Amino acid sequence: MIELQLRSQKAIALVVVMILDILFLGILYCGLLYRFSSLNVQYSWIFWYAAYLISVVMISPIAYKRIVRTDLVMARVLKTSILMSLLYFMLNNLIEGLGVKGGVIEVIVLCMIMVTLAVSRFLGVKIITTLRSRNYDNCEVVYVGAGVNLRYLLKEMNVKGTGYHVHGYFQENVSQNIGKQLPRLGDVADVVDYLKNHHVDMLVCNLPQERANEIVEIMKYCDNNMIRFFTVPNINNYMRSRLELRFVGDMPILSRRNEPLTEPFNRFIKCTFDKIIALLALPFVALVFLIVAPIIKIQSPGPIFFNQKRNGRNGKEFYCHKFRSMHVNKDADKVQATENDPRKFKFGDWMRRNNIDELPQVWNVLVGEMSIVGPRPHMKLHNEEYSKLIQGYNLRNLGKPGITGWAQVTGFRGETKELWQMEERVARDVWYLENWSFFLDIKIIWLTFWNMIKKKDKAAY
């Protein structure tokens, strides 16, 4: 989605990003030459910056765009770093005979480029948002029509540092949607006169299709005067999720939602990452098993593992594995755990508070039933109940369930005493599936450990 964000039409933001890149990479280059004399070959600095410029042309930076997400900036930094490293060593090899040997130096150079570009890009974001908050690199905007959709658009445009400056709206009467937030500039018939007398970069039209003749006239004026024309469809009353523009031939259509994990390459990245983490974690889980298994047996007679049927991707059933943390009981498949649940034995309660009981799900990840990050799988009975109460509940099953997830690290883990709590969890799970990126997974894993260390997860029971 970041590729579709509206760009600044002025060069200042992109210039800031590239100047910082060049400056920081220059400092890194000097440091690498000082540390690794083998890199100090003739024309090496030319190869260094040639590799950077080619990488930037092929993988353009996004830190200068008006609305950016941290994880997507990091994803772009990773791609650029890998490409720049390969190009640098290939150029050295072709011209000077210094080949890419896959050794320690090459790995260090790659890592240092990635760290340097990350620092540069995030510093660039900070500088650009500061400039925009002081009215540099503004985008002057007017609205035509004032439907409910523009209220949500205005909320996004009003975020500090985006640089949008909305003058007001044109409509025959005062808008009930944004009338208190923006001034009414006149009737729709007054739009062209206003554009003639004011500097406007962008016009957003929200008129119904019944007024097509007026829309066409405004659009023609915008085209002839280099004002960028955008239209916002009046579909918010029945469709509130993020839409994706698709094409069937040359015909545009709107997709109900963006799903990054429908792309084969993205699934490959996520699956590979899951398998690597699961394989690395398996020896640790085996060691934990040797410790907790006898304690579970001593404190509560019964099996060591608790295996419960849950729904995975596309609703497919699988057995979710846990270390048993409760006494064997008839309500295990019906009732959620509560804070002072009498079914828990003492060591089981400690395991739950420290997420130890979830460790056997590493095996679910290894065999492909679960992912490290994804919507948490619920009991089958709860799936049946909540799917009747919450619109879009089953959208959670479009992806693999996870050991941890976006809902869990943003405060919606554990017992759901009220319906709104489950609604919020579902909304966060669906948001994750619509906004997945590799670095979003990294962020969620980090927040999971951070919450455990700081004991911020009050619902871990």
Q: Across residues 264-284, what is the average pLDDT?
A: 91
Name the more confident of 61 and 100: 61
- Mean pLDDT throughout 91-106? 62
pLDDT on residue 99? 45
Across all residues in the chain, what is the average pLDDT? 84
Give me the mean pLDDT over the 417-435 stretch: 89
Both structure tokens of 257 = 């939602």
374 pLDDT higher than 90: yes
Cβ(321)–Cβ(304) below 8 Å: no
Q: Dump the DSSP string for 117-160.
A: HHHHHHHHHHHHHHHHHTTSS-EEEEEES--HHHHHHHHHHTST
pLDDT for residue 137 is more than 90: no
What is the predicted pLDDT for the residue at 97?
53
Mean per-residue pLDDT for 432-453?
Answer: 89
Query: Which pLDDT belongs to residue 402?
Result: 94
Q: What percent of the chain has pLDDT over 90?
A: 38
Quote the CA–CA distance of 425 and 378 in Å, as a whole number. 11
Tell me what pLDDT residue 93 has.
72
94 or 13, which is more confident? Answer: 13
More confident residue, 174 or 64: 174
Amino acid at 438: F
Strands (DSSP E) contained in 261-311 are 305-311
Residues 6+ apart with CB under 8 A from 221: 191, 192, 195, 227
Say yes or no to pLDDT of 60 above 60: yes
The CA-atom distances, in angstroms, between 423 and each of 147, 257, 307, 379, 403 are 26, 18, 26, 16, 20
Could you give the percent of the chain with pLDDT greater than 70? 87
pLDDT band, very low/low/confident/very high, at 5 (cuts 50, 70, 90): very low
**Distance from C-alpha of 445 to C-alpha of 440, rounded to nearest angstrom:** 9
The confidence score (pLDDT) of residue 460 equals 59
Q: Which residue did the predictor score with more confidence, 315 or 370?
A: 370
Between 178 and 23, whose confidence is greater? 23
- Show the tokens assigned to 115: 């760290």
* Lowest-pLDDT range of 13-17, 131-135, 248-252: 248-252
Say how far apart CA 230 and CA 153 lie, in whole Å.
Answer: 12
Q: In the predicted model, is pLDDT for residue 1 greater than 90?
A: no
Enumerate the domain spans of the chain: 2-133, 139-240, 264-454
Would the pLDDT of 6 be above 80? no
Please state the rounded mean pLDDT for residues 387-391.
88
Q: What is the pLDDT of residue 362?
A: 95
Q: How many CA atoms lie within 13 A of 231 on its CB side?
A: 12
Q: What is the pTM of this model?
A: 0.64
Comparing 15-24, 266-275, 329-338, the range with the smallest average pLDDT is 329-338
Mean pLDDT, to the nearest integer, of 296-309? 92
The predicted-structure confidence for 215-263, as pLDDT tens digits, reads as follows 999 999 998 888 889 888 766 544 555 666 666 666 766 676 678 888 8
The answer to whether 162 and 67 are in contact (CB under 8 A) is: yes
Residue 163 scores a pLDDT above 50: yes
Q: At what angle do helices 264-299 and 346-353 cross, to 10 degrees?
A: 160
pLDDT bin (cut points 50, 70, 90) of residue 170 is: very high
Judge contact between 344 and 370, C-beta under 8 A: no
Q: Which CATH superfamily is domain 139-240 in?
A: NAD(P)-binding Rossmann-like Domain (3.40.50.720)
Per-residue pLDDT at 368 exceeds 60: yes
- Alpha-carbon gap, residue 12 to 66, rounded angstroms: 12
Question: 19: helix, coil or strand?
Answer: helix
Task: Using pLDDT thresholds of 50, 70 and 90, give the confidence band for residue 336.
Answer: confident
Q: Which residue has the higher pLDDT, 201 or 242?
A: 201
What pLDDT, on a 0 to 100 scale, did the predictor assign at position 39?
62
The CA-based angle 146-151-156, given to 5 degrees, is 130
The whole-number pLDDT of residue 3 equals 43
Burial call 416-435: b when 16+ CB within 10 Å, e when fewer: beeeebbbbbbbbbbebbbb
CB 149 within 8 A of CB 233: yes
